[in-house]
Chains A and B, each alone.
Chain A
Amino acid sequence: MWNWLPRLAKPSDLRKAGVMGMNRRNYDIIAPNNDRRLYPLVDDKVKTKTLANKIGISTPGLIGTIEHQYEVKNILEIVRERKDFVIKPAQGSGGKGVLVILDHNGDTFTTASGRSVSYAEIYQHISNILSGLYSLGGRYDVAVIEELVHFSDIFKDYSYQGVPDVRIIVYKGYPAMAMTRLPTKASEGRANLHQGAVGVGLDIQTGEALHGVQWNEPVTRQPDTGADLMGIKVPYWREHLIIGAKAYEMTGLGYLGADIVLDAYRGPMMLELNARPGLAIQIANGKGLRAKIREIDKFYPQGLTPEQRVDYVLSLKY
């Protein structure tokens, strides 16, 4: 009779598996570790980029910004010399309002999905960004135009359009958990799990695939390309981890999510930071985050440099 009810896990089982729930994340992890005053550093992508470049983390190059409505028409001027570029809101979240342009010719632009878009639509999109449609809390925003990441060939088979990235959860400066997010047809080329992207948990020491997940269900192959997800091994893994670890010193946030892309020419680059990273990473890793955080709180040394912390994590024997 109750078969139609979704089968629920027992709370005690979840606790045993060290799963972190949303309430605990907000109350026990974010509230004591992330000072609200620091949020603008990660909520504003221009600020993040400036800070990152200052301490030597590479980010996609900034082409230009548009701050006021009367500047919107300058877009053609700004991108004249560029073939491909990305328009995104400085304070957007969850990939909202990100427009990837692969090519443009006069008044027509080609997006990542191959769709043709007119100048009027680009104009409208930037206007929407400025009026705060995509920003947190609907604040007036700035449109950021930056270089497109030429993502590394190793992800080519795993991704449907869009840019696959690596998300690393950093707790008190230590990389705690990682996954790669692969855009799919269902997610319309976006790397957001709730939109249907595939998440693949990565071993924090090696960067090798652990589990694949889409729509909260286990998957072993990329649904669009059919590639075996378990074959993923992210190169330059130590560099990825160091970017994540450095983000701690850069922002002062005790709990953050670093989104990193692997550029074919420039290596790992920080795309953006998140002060409230989601919990889906646990499903992709097949592991609870809470157990890891307890371990870091209890045993990991304090007062190390980012490089020392990464090496400490890499040297652990399990």
Chain B
Amino acid sequence: MLKKFTSVRFILSILLVLSIAFAAYSIYYKVEYWGFNFAPKQNSDVWTIEAHISFEPNGEPIKVSLTTPQNSSAYKVLEENVVASGYKIKKNGTRMVLTAPAQENPQDIYYRVMLFDNIDTRGKTKAPRPPKPQAPVMEEQRLAAAKQILAIAAKLPGDSVSQVIRLLNQVPPEATVQSYLPLKKTQAEMASQLRDLLAIKEIPTRVVRGFRLEENKKSFNPDLMLEAYIDNQWKIYDIKTGDKGLPENFVVFQRGGTSLIDVEGGDNSSIKFSVIKSVTSSISLAGRRAKLAGQKSRFDYSIYSLPLAEQNTLKWLAIFPLAILVIVLMRNVVGLQTMGTFTPMLLSMALVKTGFWPGIICFGVIIGIGLVMRFVLSKLNLLLVPRISSVVIFVIIIMQMLTVAGYKMHFDIGQSAVFFPIIIMAWIIERASITWEEDGAVNAGKEVFYSIVVAIVVYVIIRDEYIRHIMYAFNELNLVILVIVMLLGTYTGYRLTELKRFRPLVKG
């Protein structure tokens, strides 16, 4: 007989190893291909950037070449599509090339890209060292002026890059700067002057095109920023203020590179951008990411492809196995006697909804008044079912009163009464009063107390946003918990409470 059971344990241990291996693989897979995160960052910003390219054909075959954003650690392209009838589309590295035979009418091409902006990793990525910048070719006089500007800049606050940017943007401008810079100062012109100046100091730089994202902003040109390679990292600078770091609302569209758009076979080309921001839960983005990674079919059969309402329900369900594991541990390993097996779990669920202290106080009030009521009822000698039923109805009345009182007195505690499952409350009252009659107040109090203790332990665990997120996002952990619970079913060691109970039996 004993052999058979050791083999059950053996099989379960193997299952445990297998389930852990499966869960580990599955977690890796979800992080890698679906972009799931261990942190419960619930929402991600998704930006939709639309580029409207228009030009007039000049009778030649048309070739439009457009820079497109590329995936990086800072943001991921979720979806990309082009509306351009009659064009052949080819992706060529970072550039998208559209070709068409000669056209007559004015042309409109729409390019839309959805970006997921991973704010956490912005500007924190290490990059390999770029080659040393080539010193700009300048006439001697201009070079002297440039060196003078650099010398003046060195006295300004900030690091060497922001010093130069600040000097060039000073109002009123420094005399040397004024003579050095051209009259027409476009962003592009400023950027190229800055690059020249910094090249003299042998700082590698590149121009960054992107957008200051404002919701529903339409028809604007990309903003420019400057990135300089300092301390083994690319650091980004605002070319108007010299401030370091990526502004909150700036999304990078293109780094380095040459032109944003080239049109062959057309004149008067223009490109206009519009930006729409939408907030989406990061799990709901997973589908798009899975598609990018070529893992669409597997995703379609996961719970994350369900509508949000269903997902919210499942999110609650996903935390149950962990709560059950805690209860199994509390009962079979610690040895606490609670009222009913899963009552503490339901209590802790209620506590999550009410908040801790309001919930505990509310619970105490309901159970306390309910017990008094139950003792009055026991004097009336009612039959069991009508008696329990009247306790249920009485509990409902207490909840109504507490809720009204809470509302009138602006006292949040009362209002949380509704979250307690009434049947469970009535059942606890009935059970407690019977234990009271049968085994005395001490035993009844102990059972209620242990139930609350277990409920609080479960509450602390399931309230944690991290744990909740992880149990939902990596639901394969439930399989591991299942096997652990089954393994605990073969635990024949002493319970913690038995170490105290059987202490008199220890010899000596």
Interface residues of A (CB under 8 A from B): 6-11, 13-14, 16-17, 19, 21-24, 27-28, 32, 69, 96, 120-121, 123-124, 127-128, 131-133, 188, 194-196, 213, 216-218, 279, 282-283, 286-288
Contact = CB atoms under 8 A, between A and B. Distances in A.
9 contacts: A14-B506, A21-B502, A22-B498, A27-B492, A32-B5, A131-B383, A195-B440, A218-B504, A282-B505
A282 B502 contact: yes
B491 A23 contact: yes
Contacts of B184: none
A121 B378 CA distance: 10
B443 A194 contact: yes
B493 interface: yes
A213 to B, nearest CB: 7
Contacts of A24: 492-493
Which of B384, B490, B496 has the most A CB atoms < 10 Å from its CB?
B384
Contacts of A7: 500, 503
B500 A17 contact: no
Contacts of B491: 23, 27
A217 B381 contact: no
Contacts of B381: 120-121, 123-124
B408 interface: no
Contacts of A16: 507
A27 B495 CA distance: 13
A109 to B, nearest CB: 14
Contact of A131 (B384, B502, B505): B384
Contacts of B138: none
Contacts, number: 103
A128 B384 contact: yes
A279 B501 CA distance: 10
A221 B434 CA distance: 31
A123 B434 CA distance: 18
Interface of B: 1-2, 5, 332, 335, 381-385, 434, 438-440, 443, 489-496, 498-507
Contacts of B503: 7-9
Given A14-B502, A21-B495, 14 more contacts: A8-B496, A8-B500, A10-B499, A11-B494, A11-B499, A19-B494, A23-B495, A27-B492, A32-B1, A131-B383, A195-B440, A216-B504, A283-B504, A287-B505
A104 to B, nearest CB: 18
Contacts of A217: 504
Nearest to B502: A19
Contacts of B493: 11, 21, 23-24
A133 B505 contact: no
Contacts of A17: 502, 505-507
A123 B438 CA distance: 18
A22 B495 contact: yes
Nearest to A33: B1
Contact of A28 (B385, B492, B494, B495): B492
A120 B383 CA distance: 12
A22 B335 contact: yes
Contacts of A188: 440
Given A14-B502, A283-B502, A127 B492 contact: no
A21 B385 CA distance: 37
B438 A19 contact: no
Given A14-B494, A21-B495, A32-B1, A133 B504 contact: no
A96 B506 contact: no
Nearest to B335: A22
B390 to A, nearest CB: 14
A23 B492 contact: yes
A140 to B, nearest CB: 10
Nearest to B332: A23
Top 6 A-B pairs, shortest CB-CB distance: A131-B384, A24-B492, A124-B381, A8-B499, A21-B494, A9-B503
A184 B84 CA distance: 94
Contact of A27 (B385, B490, B506): B490
A51 to B, nearest CB: 26
A7 B499 CA distance: 8
A261 B507 CA distance: 32
A28 B5 contact: yes
Contacts of B443: 194-195
Nearest to A118: B381
B446 to A, nearest CB: 11
A9 B506 contact: yes
A243 B61 CA distance: 108
Contacts of A23: 332, 491-495
Residue of A23, A96, A195 with most partner-chain B CB within 10 A: A23
Nearest to B385: A131
Given A8-B499, A127-B383, A213 B504 contact: yes
Contacts of B506: 9-10, 13-14, 17
A21 B500 contact: no
Contacts of A131: 383-385
B443 to A, nearest CB: 7
B505 A288 contact: yes
B357 to A, nearest CB: 25
Nearest to B499: A8
A283 B381 CA distance: 40
Contacts of B507: 13, 16-17
Contacts of A13: 506-507
Nearest to A125: B381
A133 B495 contact: no
Contacts of B2: 28
A201 B281 CA distance: 66
A21 B498 contact: yes
Given A22-B498, A23-B491, A195-B439, A127 B505 contact: no
Contact of B502 (A6, A9, A195): A9
B289 to A, nearest CB: 46
A283 B502 CA distance: 7
Given A9-B500, A124-B381, A286-B504, A21 B492 contact: yes
Contacts of B492: 21, 23-24, 27-28
